[in-house]
Amino acid sequence: MKNPYRTQSIAFAFLFLATLLIVIPVGLIVVIIVQKGLPAINWQFISDIPRQGMRAGGIFPAIVGTVYLVTGAIIFALPIGLLAAIYLSEYSKDNLFTRLIKLAIVNLAGVPSVVYGLFGLALFVVFFKFGASILSGSLTLGIMILPVIITTSREALESVPYSFREVSLSLGASKWQTIRHIVLPNAIPGILTGTILGLGRAAGETAPILFTVAAFYLPQLPNSIFDQAMALPYHLYVISTQVPNVDEKIRYGTAFVLLALVLIMNLVAIIIRYKFRKRKKW
């Protein structure tokens, strides 16, 4: 005999199990990295340059490099992505051409990051002659996160109720005024969500910076955007696989710093988003 209540309990159990399966690995990763990495964290580790062939000292240049790269990527990708999203959601007509563009953007988000790295090498490093530099790396990371920013921004813009636009237009506001004063302010929380996602990805990727900026070992800070820089994900790769006899503590400490950096940057964006959400009035 079928008992509908039991079916429901079984369904709930499976759904709960699936959720648990997602949470456990995430929790484990954090616990292991904190457990093994935290002992390495001290002022010297964060503020000193790597010493003794990266087996001692700190990781300051890599932290600075990653901050520069992520900032550069956002400075490049956010304005362009946002403008493209505004065009696609507010101005473009719905036809085959724009649908192809939208499809291409969504698919670009799925392109492997190493392909972006190769693209950045060909375009920025070689063709534009920026060399392996913070500029090339930032632009490559920026292009990599553009699809994420465009897609989420578009969704944020389109989720602003259509009636607000009609009201604004019916009062004689121009289309641009309507976008600028009604649509955009109400889409900011969603746009920031896209930025957070892009930011995390830009900070963590190794492949795009491999050919375009990352230095194996550079004991001083970059002086300009045309300098090479160390970066945390690549540094982590180097000390984990390329340099023998690196203390485990240092490897996990580096991972911990990378994780903390991404979390701190996300936190800033989340706080801004929360501020804007509170202003949301419908």
Partner 1 sequence: MVEFEIHDLNIWFGPVHAIKHVNMEVQSNEILGVIGPANSGKTTFLRTLNRLNELNANYRMSGAVELQREDVRGIEIEELRRKIGMVFALPLPLPLSIFDNVAYGVRMHGERGKRRLEGKVEETLKQAYLWEEVKDRLSESAFKLSGGQQQRLCIARTLAVGPEVILFDEPCSGLDPISTAKVEDAMVKLKEKFTIVLVTNNVKQAARVSDKTAFFLNGELVELDKTDKIFTAPQDKRTDGYIRGKFG
Q: Are 233 and 258 in contact (CB under 8 A)?
A: yes
Instruction: List alpha helices for the chain, DSSP H.
Output: 4-37, 43-47, 60-86, 96-108, 113-120, 134-158, 162-170, 175-178, 184-204, 207-210, 232-237, 248-279
Residue 281: other Cβ atoms inside 10 A: 5
Query: What is the 8-class DSSP label of residue 49?
Result: P
3-state secondary structure of 102: helix
Q: Is 168 in the site for partner 1 (CB under 8 A)?
A: yes
Half-sphere exposure of 75 (CA within 13 A, CB side): 11
Q: Is 96 in the site for partner 1 (CB under 8 A)?
A: no
Q: Which lies closer to partner 1 via its Cβ, residue 52 or residue 94?
A: 94
**Residue 173 CB, nearest distance to partner 1 (Å)?**
4
Q: Is 164 in the site for partner 1 (CB under 8 A)?
A: yes
Residue window 102-141: x/- pattern of binding to partner 1, with contact defined by CB under 8 A:
----------------------------------------
The token pair that represents 82 in the structure block: 């946002």
**Residue 82 CB, nearest distance to partner 1 (Å)?**
20
Q: Is 163 in the site for partner 1 (CB under 8 A)?
A: yes
Q: Which lies closer to partner 1 via its Cβ, residue 94 or residue 264?
A: 94
Q: Is 177 in the site for partner 1 (CB under 8 A)?
A: yes
State which of positions 32-61 bind partner 1 (CB under 8 A): none
Please give the C-alpha separations between residue 85 and each of 34, 140, 153, 232, 236, in angstroms, as whole numbers.
Answer: 38, 20, 6, 31, 35
Phi, psi of 237 (to 5 degrees): -60, -45
Q: Which lies closer to partner 1 via its Cβ, residue 36 or residue 165?
A: 165
Q: Is 174 in the site for partner 1 (CB under 8 A)?
A: yes
Q: Is 167 in the site for partner 1 (CB under 8 A)?
A: yes
State which of positions 261-280 bind partner 1 (CB under 8 A): 280
Q: Is 182 in the site for partner 1 (CB under 8 A)?
A: yes
Residue in 51, 181, 275, 277 binding partner 1, rule: CB under 8 A: 181
Question: Where does this chain bind partner 1 (CB under 8 A)?
Answer: 93-94, 163-174, 177, 181-182, 186, 280-282
